[in-house]
Structure 1
């Protein structure tokens, strides 16, 4: 077992606090520690913690390939697997814990059928995504939210913290790009991107993405919707259940980790550092890439 002060130890301590067993797996060919989380006497998740100090001393390309192969092999056995970066754990711990808890089946379940879907403004979207999405907010054209009316607050478990006086609660958000218009068979073809999707911390809004997608489809009538599955967290099989198909891979992307506050940026300009101050120390890292998924709305509608 990792020492409590280590990254691995912090994860195991948290898992123990929510009544899950955690142990270090015996992976002799693996360059980083692998943790197994057991629930109901079976392994349901493997978390691979990454110590940033390690990444300063190793061949990242080789380790990324090893990481990708390991995750793919684990998921092929039906076991969810995550590549968990230390900077995310330190800077956005509540979101990481919420996502892991959802994978372990211990989040508050909210049926999407009880919610109302509608467009929301930029300010509400940004606040929600900064609080509930691992990568925060980003630019988008169309923003939709799911609201749980007060009369259904009874589905929330005892001890769930929320504003019981509010008339409704925003429990999920999805954002979409403007249309990219192509010519297909001599006619304009409208393609949109699903950019962000997130549920409220510590909840699993069952059917949320499907309901948000349908609200967007009814209003904007896209010919297709494309999105990306982050390979560090999943292989995107949930998109397949919603009618998306794999359409290729996106290679690993570079990011800079600002070591002072564990914040990720693509370029130093994003930090907004005033000229003349001491230079900020960064660590260059690469993610595992992503799988591109596309849902062909126009074809499916014609077939039905």
Structure 2
């Protein structure tokens, strides 16, 4: 039986966490634990209890990000109304730096990058013990990145489809309405036909995307990745880790995520014109 940790006060359970130990994963043999892990997660969520899967390597190497996401889910983060922020395009260096510090999977290449900035006059909404540079004129509190367009022909006209690649809020914060505001800025500027994205099953059942007008369009199967067990660093391919394809280096362990749900938001003409 897979272990389950509960976050509770008295008899009320607010969340359940399924930890994945890499030694147990290795002993079980790669994919053996995948189905039981997914079934256990789905069973908990079917009871109406939020549940997440936390891998050992993420806990050891990205603990601050994991703790921030858990705090946001539990309503324990500093709340920042997105209506107080300003949205604008940001450069690649700013984007990568923010995502490396605030997204579980770090940064990745993207074509279009948008940030939400909290002006100094609204720093008063932050808790008095919140650590940040209070002398700065603004604070970057959320980032969303998008792919270049894939262009198809639809009804005799070009149809532009983009992917929402990354979204992250500043550690310790919950920027209420952030993704909606960032999406709307992108829609106004680029006029996409649709926007697609993926909900990571280990952390989400996708309901937040549904609230933003996305529709479920199928499931993506588990994907493999490689964990450097010495430094607890995860990479998608061995080539990115500096190894040639083929034989797996001794210090790397093959892992699989639980897959994801594909979501698509069809952009209506009046959205692009608003």
Does the alignment reach a TM-score above 0.5? yes
Equivalences for residues 1-304 of structure 1 within 5 A: 30=1, 32-39=2-9, 41-272=11-242, 281-298=251-268, 301=271
Structure with the greater relative contact order (CA < 8 A, sep ≥ 6): 1 or 2?
Answer: 2
Aligned length: 269
Q: 1:40 to 1:161 in 2, by over 3 A?
A: farther
Pairwise CA distance, 1:204: 0.3
Q: 1:207 to 1:96 in 2, by over 3 A?
A: same
Pairwise CA distance, 1:300: 7.1
* RMSD value, Cα: 1.7
1:109 and 1:301 map into 2 onto residues whose CA distance is 28
2:165 and 2:9 map into 1 onto residues whose CA distance is 32
Residues 144 and 168 of structure 2 are in contact (CA less than 8 Å); yes or no, is this contact kept in structure 1? yes
2:205 and 2:269 map into 1 onto residues whose CA distance is 24
Q: 1:46 to 1:228 in 2, by over 3 A?
A: same
Q: Secondary structure at the match of 1:268?
A: coil
Residues 117 and 142 of structure 2 are in contact (CA less than 8 Å); yes or no, is this contact kept in structure 1? yes
1:273 and 1:184 map into 2 onto residues whose CA distance is 42
1:208 and 1:104 map into 2 onto residues whose CA distance is 18
The alignment's TM-score, normalised by the length of structure 2, stands at 0.94
Q: Deviations over 1:190-248 (max 9, x none)?
A: 00000000000000000000000000000001010000000000111000000000000
1:167 and 1:70 map into 2 onto residues whose CA distance is 47
1:161 and 1:273 map into 2 onto residues whose CA distance is 39
Residues 222 and 298 of structure 1 are in contact (CA less than 8 Å); yes or no, is this contact kept in structure 2? no
Pairwise CA distance, 1:61: 2.9
Q: Secondary structure at the match of 1:261?
A: coil
1:160 and 1:60 map into 2 onto residues whose CA distance is 41
2:185 and 2:11 map into 1 onto residues whose CA distance is 40
**Structure 1 stretches lacking a partner, 5+ long:** 1-29
**Structure 2 stretches lacking a partner, 5+ long:** none
1:285 and 1:161 map into 2 onto residues whose CA distance is 35
Q: Deviations over 1:258-285 (max 9, x none)?
A: 11101111222212369xxxx5510111
Pairwise CA distance, 1:79: 1.1
1:271 and 1:255 map into 2 onto residues whose CA distance is 11
